[in-house]
Structure 1
Amino acid sequence: MTELAAASDISPADAVRALGLARMRAIATGLLGLMALVFVAASLLQRHWPAFAYVRAFGEAGMVGACADWFAVTALFRRPFGLPIPHTGIIPRNKARIGEALGGFIADNFLTERVLEEKLRQLEVARWGGDWLRRPKNARRLAERLAGAAPKLLSSLPPGAVGDLLGSAALAVARATPAGPAASKVLAALWSEGRAQPLFERALDWLGDYLASHEEAIRTQVSEHSYSWLPKWVDRILADKLIHGLVQTLGEMRDPQHPWRRELAARVEDYIARLGADPDLQARAEAYKLRLLADASLRGQVAEVWSGLETRVGTELTENPADLAGPLERAILALGNWLAGDAQAQAQLNARARQLVSGVIAPRRRQIGVFVAQVVASWDARSVVDKLELQVGRDLQYIRINGTLVGGLVGVIIFAAARALGLD
């Protein structure tokens, strides 16, 4: 087994390859030993049985073939027996050139715009991603990893970085979103199907409670603003009538069919429709939005809110990182189901992926090739040898085995031919 296989950080796949390489080495070396035994035994037996000369020739030629192929295979990765034999240790002596060739091969055959776009069209990245994300096992594993990495990521960022990023993103989205149509959609969603009615009834309850708790203040205001010649007991009666009338009106407005309530609904619906279609009203809404976003006090309040959220989220994640896994898993599953079922979204995301490839990866394929070459060149010679030998060493041991058997057969043929021609 190679030194790499003995390393503590070897991957499971490399461990399997190392065991396979060690096994094939043992078989090839054992076959060489077997040829040596055949040669010795046949040499002794041919004294009594001349036919064993053919077996002796097979063993002799098999040993030669086994030794020659062992030398050839070993010379690829290192110097046999550590001797400075010319043209040995080919891979470690040429690792820089191998890295350049590998980088150029990847750049020219895998990272061209045509190849990448064709492969992306075949893969259907968005649909594949949706199918992968909506599998509960994948969503759970991804959520757990993201939740585990979140505290470390947040702690590594400068203070306020997340808040600044989210705040800037929110302001950018707000500036780019037309205020009128967006407000129209939000209000329509809140108002439709009676979603706003509980809020309206809650407001009626709040007004009723307010009147009940401020009756004396209302009587005082009525008395101060009535005619000075009216007696105080008249002011009190007027105030009680006013309070009673207001409370009774509020109670009546709890009925969805109350005329005032129906009129209010009609006005709200008309305003929502105008927000989505009236250019003048949309222009006023847009101007108000821009003034609001330009307000320094608002920006300060937003930054303060984001900062508080960042601190709270960071503390919660540090103390209870597993609490984030559940919501993340549900969000990932929802995202996967949306991607898998929305053909239009798939087409848009696939188009964006192809644009990304065309605009970012393909134009920089040469730099990527150079990066690959630099990575290979930065490896030490032992690392290069170990990595390549684990990948192809097992197959190269078959060369030794084949060389032993083929060499033996060729040796027999040559020996038989020499005898037939009277050359021995």
Structure 2
Amino acid sequence: MAPDAERASAPGVAPADRPAPAGGFAYGAADEERRRAVRRMKTLATGLLLAVALVYVLAKWAGASGAGGWTGFVAAAAEAGMVGALADWFAVTALFKRPMGLPIPHTAIIPTKKDQLGQSLGDFVGENFLSGEVVRRRLRSVGIGRRVGGWLAEPRNADRVTAEVSTALRGALTVLRDSDVQAVVGEAITRRADAQEIAPGIGTMLEKIVAEGGHKRVVDLLVARVHDWLVEHGDSVMSAVSGGAPGWTPRFVDRKVGDRVYKELMRFVTEMRDMPEHPARGAIDRFLRDFADDLQSDPATRAKVERLKSEVLGRGEVQDLIASAWGSVRAMIVAAAEDEGSELRLRVRAALLSLGRRLSDEKRLQEKVDGWLEGAAVYVVTTYQSEITSLITDTVAGWDAEHTSKKIEAHIGRDLQFIRINGTVVGALAGLAIYAVSQAFGG
């Protein structure tokens, strides 16, 4: 807070009676009321900073005491909230004075840059530029969605966009080194597979398939193929049975036994093929249900599946297959991008023409696209408000630096305190999101 502001609020001093400095403007009772509102908002923003700091300390203490994994999420959110609050405090304070009196470059902007700032700062920024409603109204009046649709609906424009996209795609794929991409893809697939146990997921899927009867078609196919194979290779089956008989048994007895075994085997397979309720089918169902349950709950079965997974992933053939996948995909994409008659380019062109016609004709789609663009523009404007305001350089030369700073702070300071509050809240949410994503991917 500027020294004059402290004196103006001291007992026995009437701000309205103070003369305006030469070349400046009057500082009246209405301005002092605004400054009191600014002080209240500063107290609220600072209190919110202290609150998240207290939450951070408590969360770290709870985590160290073994309260559970949730403390990490709370601590990450509170820490990011403190960072956001302090960063925005620094940005807001630097407009009017040097933070903590330190001679940091590019602080106390309004007093030191009085020749480039003016009273119209608050009105212009708050009402004519950084207002979300103004931005939306301006973009809505332009009708970007309808104009883009009309432009894309022209075949020559769709061809041009398709060619540009193809060129950019080829350039991006050319810059990328195959060995680097292959290494990244291989490592990502292997690391993700190693980090996640697959047995419970397979068991759940198998349990659902069996419950819905999806495995029965596979059983039907296998039984039918076994039946056909037995019909075609009956002599081989009987010879195998006869050849396994003891040497002292008569050959006609071996043939009789082989023929009997073959017929029983054929009868069993035929009945199993033609009878949906055959006991053997029920046994298969029970086996699959038990196996699905073991995959989900039996530690030994799950460990065997994990060992099998590791062995498969560790094989050189599998790693070579993973590494070579990128080369195949890249070659396919580059070839399709270079060929004007390729299915890829034809589909892209058709999609652009279709999008252009829809944007030209469908009011609802136009409104949706306009809404997306308006939302993005409003987000950029409101998020980077402090950076935008730092570019404002128009002012009236000759105004008293401290008096000008007081006047501007009285008019816009309350709104600037909301930046600190928003920085705390948005920082906490961003920190929570980043921590949650890192935990989800094993970070």
Q: TM-score range by the shorter chain?
A: 0.3 to 0.5
Q: TM-score, normalised by structure 1?
A: 0.39
* Higher helix residue share: 1
Q: TM-score, normalised by structure 2?
A: 0.38
For the pair shown, which has the larger CA radius of gyration, 1 or 2? 1
